[in-house]
Structure 1
Amino acid sequence: MRICVIFNPAAGRRRARRRLAGFLDRWGDRVTLRPTARPGHAAELAADALREGFDTVAAAGGDGTVHEVADGLLRAADQDGSAPPIFAVAPIGSANDYAHSLQRQFGVAPLDVPDAPAVDVGRLSWTAADGTPRDRFFVCCCGAGLPGRVTLESRRIGWLQGVPLYGLAALRALRAAGPPEEWTVQTDDGPPTTAPTWSVHALLGRREGGFLLAPQARLDDGLFDTLRLGPMTRWGMLRLLPGLARRGPPTDCPHVALGRGRSLQIDSPSPLAVHADGELALLPADDVRSVRLDLLPKRLRARACAVN
């Protein structure tokens, strides 16, 4: 097998260097190693690896590296009309949400195993302010509204990781946010619903930013697990966070709407903040008020591999 490992030297906010070094020492003489040098570089390296015919392309890093490598593979495969190679994940980042779901559902396999289960993929699409259609693939989760602002806040915090990082970022985002606005959301071909909304989430995996938003989600069932947070107070949102980290969303709260579907259409009166796999896809400055999320069933073969 020809294996390419794309890795982020700064993954884990500089706290995972030992794990990364051990992983690279173990595999360095058997694989092609390609470090990233800047944001977006992992997607470019992944596209190059697909065109060079690698059998497996691995992301060694956190969810940011995972997102970029997966997006690069899927985008290049669409352009070439080919099937993407096996996508392997070596989790050494701060949250490792996608690796968590892969491990829980399928276990862990060595990097050089020549097979992997087929899993679903999401696609976020929108029209830019200049009228250009845009899109981005995601493999774990996508969130609009408050989660996009949480992602932005997390980039400003350099001394935490995992749930503490995103918990503090959520507190900051809530403090800065205005009241929830009237969003219109449509799932599949169902009727659109308009209501005050803090956020909308679509998950393929179980977690988003370390929070257990979809405990029953499976990566290959052909459906998003969706969550819509309605007009609760900031104090109500704060009281919700510990439970989201440990148990998942409550099923008896009138302001928490859970669902499943293959597509979501989200329309907001104000510009949206949206993340894909924890990476910012849209900022309010982009002036995008309408996005669509579509599930692509079993579009990728993916597995988690052991770091040590």
Structure 2
Amino acid sequence: MRAGICKLTGQHGIFLKSHIIPAALTRGDKSEPFIEAGNGRPPKRSWNSWFDSELVIQRGEKILTEFDTWAIANMRRARLVWSGWQGSAVLEPSVDFGATHRIIGTPDNFGLHSLRDVDSARLRLFLLSLLWRAAVTRRPEFDDIQIPASDEQRLRRMLLEGRPDPLDFYPITLTQLSTLGPHHNLTPVCRDYDFGPDKDRGLPPAKTFRFYFDGLIATVFLPGYSAAMYEGISAIAVGGKPDRLEVPTIPFANSFQHKNLERVVEEARTNWPEKSERLNMASGRRRPEG
């Protein structure tokens, strides 16, 4: 155990092991290891998701744990994550756009999970805490998550004060996988977001960070997006409505998550075929963590 300055509270103390994404949202069958792969690294067995042993001391961990405990319980209650489905394999959307409205360009079975009586501001704070953890950790798996130091400090103060405003500072939307897929983890990635009207006006795509856990995707929009784009996502932005939340849904088979998982598996097979085969035979099934 090492002592140092807590990155959240700024106080000196003994560091505790702290997960970047809560362990409860990153594990499927605890009797089997993950296969960790992707990002140009050879595959290996992993019994735990990513944690940082030099992130927070006891007071800081208590604050993060309070965010995590509340979010896990409420996301499961609202069936926002696979572990809240209680054995179901499919989440029936509140509105099935693909089957009813047939919006041009909308994937089949694209829907909307409409939630009421949800503390969306508190959920935003939890999601901002994931962004802050990923940005300040030194773990190489999170190297894609880079934000200015001034923004790190602003996020830190928001978490300490329990203040989700302003909503246009790293706004967040959610997308939910409406059918079960294999349990797996992927580290957050940086992706471009093409907003149609901006593209038509010759503007560059917005930059986003994409977080994934337990069948739920959180898309964090970085500063620099256009006012028109923010207006376009405001109806589904987390925290935008005090007790309501609208979450688009898409089947796992139609998702970027599925395609990215296949890519990671194929990369491991191609670059490290013998090692990949040994790990897959030992685990009995593939559940990459990348």
Q: TM-score, normalised on structure 2?
A: 0.29
Q: TM-score, normalised on structure 1?
A: 0.28
Which structure carries more helix by proportion?
A: 2
